[in-house]
């Protein structure tokens, strides 16, 4: 059907994101020791402005993620919505800033592929086994559950099913919870994405939602404080030294192209802070 074809096109975007991240890291824009296990080939060259765009995106997201983990002293959960082949869990493990539990959600078909990579690549599976207390991990084709990492196949447009699955894997709504959506809500209607964002606000009293998206579509209902920075601004507040370093990696002919690209995107973050952790100052 038409909607199956549309969903298939959406699922394919997870390869685009990871392929671009794989390429940019191969050039030295930032370090990701794990993306190679999800995308083997470095693949075709990407334009410098694309690499710089991804650099701003990944650095900007990471700054906010790390600030939340610090604020909560890792006594929290992270839920990555539409996680695709994202490697954040493994970075946090290596940097010793793992949340109590890290959840990922994506379409069952993507989740099945990710689980296959995890099962067959020891650098991916070892950290899960090391942080797990019993001998057996729960593993079926469409979900994997360990003490600290869990990946769930679900459609983000079906909230009752999503809620039931998160409960099944012991999400604790009372624990401070960070929601991430990096280029995900844009693939839903604004009605569907508002429902999702509202459900988070209604269900989690102490929470932060970080969304990377195009600037035009952003919603605030049910949240205490909302911030949005377009990527031009994010790029300008990233540590100068590192930006200077990556700008030397590849020559960029037309700076205007990069500016146009960065102006279309933004990172927004919204908080609800029942436990008064001071999230609004992040």
* Number of residues in contact with ligand SAM under rule CB under 6 A: 20
User: Does the annotation flag 164 for ligand binding?
Assistant: no
Which one, 132 or 142, has the nearer CB to ligand SAM?
142
Order of strands, sheet of 149-153, starting from the edge strand that comes earlier in the sequence: 138-140, 143-145, 149-153, 101-106, 77-81, 177-182, 206-214, 265-273, 225-230
Return the CA Rg of the chain.
18
User: Does the annotation flag 175 for ligand binding?
Assistant: no
Scan residues 89-148 and list those touching ligand SAM (CB under 6 A).
106-107, 110
Give me the 182-201 binding string for ligand SAM, x by CB under 6 A, dash otherwise: xxx--xx-------------
Which one, 159 or 249, has the nearer CB to ligand SAM?
159
For residue 61 the two structure tokens come to: 């997201």
Least Cβ distance, residue 32 to ligand SAM (angstroms)? 11
Give the SS3 label for residue 228.
strand
- The greatest distance separating any two alpha carbons of the chain, rounded to the nearest whole angstrom, comes to 55
- Residue 83 near ligand SAM by CB under 6 A: yes
Scan residues 214-253 and list those touching ligand SAM (CB under 6 A).
none
- Residue 86 near ligand SAM by CB under 6 A: yes
Give me the 139-178 binding string for ligand SAM, x by CB under 6 A, dash otherwise: ----------------xxx---------------------
Which one, 63 or 275, has the nearer CB to ligand SAM?
63
For residue 256 the two structure tokens come to: 């205007």
Give the angle 44-49-54 at the CA atoms, nearest 5°. Answer: 80
**Residue with the two structure tokens 């964002």:** 197
Stretch that binds ligand SAM, among 10-18, 64-72, 90-98, 245-253 (CB under 6 A): 10-18
Contact (CB, 8 A) for 55 and 24: yes
Contact (CB, 8 A) for 99 and 92: yes
User: Does the annotation flag 230 for ligand binding?
Assistant: no
Contact (CB, 8 A) for 252 and 49: yes
Least Cβ distance, residue 226 to ligand SAM (angstroms)? 20
* H-type alpha helices, the chain: 2-26, 35-38, 48-71, 88-94, 108-120, 122-130, 159-168, 190-203, 231-237, 240-247, 255-263
Binding residues for S-adenosyl-L-methionine: 57, 82, 155-156, 182
Site of interaction with ligand SAM (CB under 6 A) = 10-11, 13-14, 17, 82-84, 86, 106-107, 110, 155-157, 182-184, 187-188
Binding residues: 57, 82, 155-156, 182
């Amino acid at each position: 059907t038409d909607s199956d074809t549309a969903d298939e096109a959406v699922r394919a975007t997870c390869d685009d994101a990871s392929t671009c991240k794989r390429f940019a890291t191969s050039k030295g824009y930032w370090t990701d020791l794990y993306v190679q296990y999800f995308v083997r080939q470095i693949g075709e060259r990407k334009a410098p402005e694309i690499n710089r765009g991804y650099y701003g995106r990944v650095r900007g997201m990471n700054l906010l993620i790390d600030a939340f983990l610090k604020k909560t002293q890792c006594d929290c959960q992270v839920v990555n919505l539409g996680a695709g082949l994202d490697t954040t869990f493994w970075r946090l493990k290596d940097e010793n800033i793992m949340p109590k539990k890290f959840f990922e959600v994506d379409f069952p078909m993507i989740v099945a592929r990710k689980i296959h990579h995890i099962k067959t690549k020891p650098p991916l599976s070892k950290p899960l086994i090391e942080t797990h207390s019993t001998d057996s991990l729960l593993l079926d084709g469409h979900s994997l559950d360990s003490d600290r990492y869990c990946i769930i196949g679900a459609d983000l447009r079906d909230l009752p099913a999503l809620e039931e699955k998160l409960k099944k894997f012991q999400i604790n709504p009372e624990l401070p919870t960070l929601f991430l959506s990096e280029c995900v809500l844009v693939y839903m209607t604004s009605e569907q994405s508002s429902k999702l964002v509202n459900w988070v606000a209604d269900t989690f009293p102490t929470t932060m939602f970080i969304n990377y998206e195009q600037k035009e579509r952003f919603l605030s209902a049910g949240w205490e404080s909302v911030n949005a920075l377009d990527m031009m601004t994010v790029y300008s507040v990233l540590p100068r030294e590192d930006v200077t370093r990556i700008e030397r990696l590849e020559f960029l002919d037309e700076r205007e192209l990069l500016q146009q690209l960065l102006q279309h995107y933004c990172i927004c973050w919204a908080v609800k802070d029942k436990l008064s952790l001071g999230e609004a100052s992040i």
